[in-house]
Structure 1
């Protein structure tokens, strides 16, 4: 997402140019400028004047401006709501991870045998479910971008341990495959041409693929990376979705390295940028030379709409909506885990309520995100508004010629650029989940959630008594700057009085308030 302001502040000018709507509106601006040039040339070079009365100019211009302003404001509300909903996903993910990691007890007893469960077994269980929480946001990201299935380098490693079939793997066939993997296989077949066109991912250098739902055993048990994994960890995808060597930024390297039966697609696959994105008028040359360029060339595989760039005129091609059940399936596994904890009596009522609320919040948020993505403004409204604007701009040079003369041409071009630009901006931001530079950076949001969840699991959940009553804690400062251990050891102090102890503690806290009030106020 390009958020720098103003346009020429700092570097990355090419990104800022691509973030504008110039490529989308230049054909219309050119057309109306030519209309203005035609009106001016005919009126100046012939005895016929094409000027007409401008009585309707002010009234219609004001009304049209208000309608376009409303259109843009409505689109920005959808953009802003999308950002708020992603904040809800981050909050719910964090809360759910905290409940799983802290409130679900580490000390467990096997009810069947009465033996204490190994601590490592419990930690693996809890960490695996928190990985599913992380996978949920990643699955939502791919769903909103019209990318179905699970075979992505940032999603598959997090959910590869989930069961594939409804029955035992030895008796399972295609009909027994669960919806999550069934839909992913169908999606993989749909985009088979993408894999054949050398769109590679981190999984391309992984060990041989597996044939069932169980990961391959690690024969070495070593944490050392192989040479291929070391080389692979130095790659990350650039803004064009191509692999780029980078030793400083590789989020994929933080994920598990697991074999996949299908080649994994990149975590992000935006359309490629070309010279035509910076000089849109060159697309005319591209159209003229197309028969000669493709005469002796093998036809290129058709890319999905999410990976395409622009049409011939330069307008962005909107990705098609993709039905994805991945977030729903992940939520079902999280709910199943919640149900298992309840059956075992491992959650208090308050913790159970918090966990259930977090899972429900995740699902509610995704439904609202789908609503934004799949509910554009009605076609009749958009068509009527655009046709009205075209008619207004078409008759504009006829109305302003008598006052502007030769300046009619630049005046028409400027008015077209201004009004059509605002109209196009509304259409640009009403669906803020794709790869456009004006869209929300969903990858950054998912990486932020990933960092927060790992921070939660890094917490050691110590007993509060182990760190509260220590020499590093001065709870009564500035009224009493002794540490907690000194206060507890000094049994002769007035704080320890049976009847007067709390009175002296309150006096100290009151003194602390007076000192803080005096020290923190300006004179």
Structure 2
């Protein structure tokens, strides 16, 4: 496999430039280059020679390089661990979906709770959808995005119970389960069913749909017979998750269109909600001036913030005291695992799965929870502040005194030498800080969204399997089970089971039966071993 050089593969864009650390370190590189310029000008234009002995900084440079290397290696190890953990989620999700879809029967025994075939398929597909929802919930948890009201998560779990008491007459706000506590904290009323008129009670809020799908009233126009056939056909392509032939994929790519179309009590947040890019991201030097301005006008800003809070509806009571707002503390992945564990207990109690399959279900659920804990450990355990601060200050001091050491040897090359050294050392230090939390929206973070979409595709591929018996395909006329030694199809073998097999390179006729089959399989191995070797 030939790896492409990322610097010269493809065209350069602003996104690729932001993926480098040049945008983060250029103010520091410019500063130390200015120090080198000052040393050169003072040493050449005056009688003062700004030069120091090279012994101390040489030793310190070696130690500092080793420490920076350790810092970068530690951050990359966290990056690799994060990728491994997502691979574990992928494997456990795929296994769990396969066990539920294939090993939980649709035809229930007489001792179990009776289900029609359609009810059993709906039941299993619902639980498989919860497996898909787990990875999406973990993604939002790692990005510090609490709650469930996201376009890629809410359609998968909106049908779950919302109250501790299932009876309609006993549902009160105090019985709302933690998963849906966010609506109650916001002062809204969670609806019971998307088609009921409860949404009118939610302070006149109009529910938001999770995706832009064609209007049902235009469904009869999908053939494109009216004057708006072009726009209708484009909507038809979108409803199928395909792109219109006249539309580029980058313009029509919307994975949320593959999800259910449901109403929500409050507007759904986007599946990807990165922080807005400001001028401080492109010119980090401005952050210093912002910090100075905030210190100078701290009192004014504090008064303005207090006035804004008073104007905010519900922020304070009539006496000006702050109201206590409930925080959303529900761990959504754990809640999803609880429902999956309940389903595992249900199928075990009903006797629908064997003990071995029940053990596999439990082990994969445990694997999902262990992996989620490890991912949260990577996210919430940065390197100690003292270590990072001391390392950065030591590097700044080293680069500040570096021109004084290099001037006697390099002369007028001290400026580019200092710029190169600062670019090299600061770049590695910034890379370590960039990748130590690899679950955000930065260009160098793991593509967690594509991981979730990959799990979604695999799970839907599993549920597309209709679990046929071997009779459907094993004895097909397309099947040549003993190839390459015997290229007869299964249908031909069954029609003439007494036909003898003759070894091609030997004139030996075997008696029909298992002896002939064993010789056939052995000859197949010889053929494959010979053909597939290069030498």
Q: For residues 449-464 of structure 1, what are the structure 2 equivalents within 5 Å?
A: 449-464=455-470
**2:195 pairs with one of 216, 235, 241:** 216
Give 1:511 shift.
2.1
Give ranges in structure 2 of 5+ residues lacking alignment.
198-212, 220-231, 240-247, 310-327, 502-510
Contact 2:24-2:284 at 8 Å conserved across structures: no
Determine the structure 1 residue equivalent to 2:208: none
Determine the structure 2 residue equivalent to 1:428: 434
Comparing 400-409 and 275-284, the one that deviates more: 275-284
- Separation in 1 of the partners of 2:189 and 2:489? 59
Give 1:245 shift.
9.8
Task: Please tell me whether residue 151 in structure 1 is matched to residue 130 in structure 2.
Answer: no
Change (3 A) 1:389 1:56: same
- Separation in 2 of the partners of 1:183 and 1:80? 34
Task: Please tell me whether residue 258 in structure 1 is matched to residue 256 in structure 2.
Answer: no
Comparing 277-286 and 263-272, the one that deviates more: 277-286
Q: For residues 109-508 of structure 1, what are the structure 2 equivalents within 5 Å?
A: 109=109, 111=111, 117-167=115-165, 168-183=167-182, 185-186=184-185, 211-216=190-195, 225-226=215-216, 248-273=252-277, 277-278=281-282, 325-494=331-500, 501-508=513-520
- Separation in 1 of the partners of 2:526 and 2:434? 56
Change (3 A) 1:255 1:508: same
- Separation in 1 of the partners of 2:291 and 2:217? 46
Give 1:274 shift.
5.4
Give 1:516 shift.
2.4
Change (3 A) 1:94 1:55: same
1:47 match: secondary structure: coil
Change (3 A) 1:26 1:323: farther
- Separation in 2 of the partners of 1:10 and 1:467? 45
| Cα root mean square deviation, aligned | 3.4
Deviations 1:410-449 (A, max 9, x none): 2222211111111110010010000000000111000000
Give 1:379 shift.
1.5
- Separation in 2 of the partners of 1:409 and 1:232? 62
- Separation in 1 of the partners of 2:346 and 2:17? 53
What is the number of residues matched between the two proteins? 460
Give 1:331 shift.
0.5
Give 1:273 shift.
3.7
- Separation in 2 of the partners of 1:501 and 1:418? 73
- Separation in 2 of the partners of 1:494 and 1:421? 73
Give 1:31 shift.
2.3
- Separation in 1 of the partners of 2:193 and 2:379? 36
Deviations 1:338-361 (A, max 9, x none): 000110011111111111111111
Give 1:162 shift.
0.4
Give 1:9 shift.
2.7
1:469 match: secondary structure: coil
- Separation in 2 of the partners of 1:245 and 1:501? 57
Give 1:514 shift.
2.4
TM-score (norm 2): 0.78
Give 1:152 shift.
0.2
Determine the structure 1 residue equivalent to 2:57: 57
Contact 1:149-1:184 at 8 Å conserved across structures: no
Contact 1:153-1:267 at 8 Å conserved across structures: yes
Change (3 A) 1:162 1:110: farther
Contact 2:399-2:422 at 8 Å conserved across structures: yes
Give ranges in structure 1 of 5+ residues lacking alignment.
190-208, 236-243, 303-321
Determine the structure 2 residue equivalent to 1:17: 17
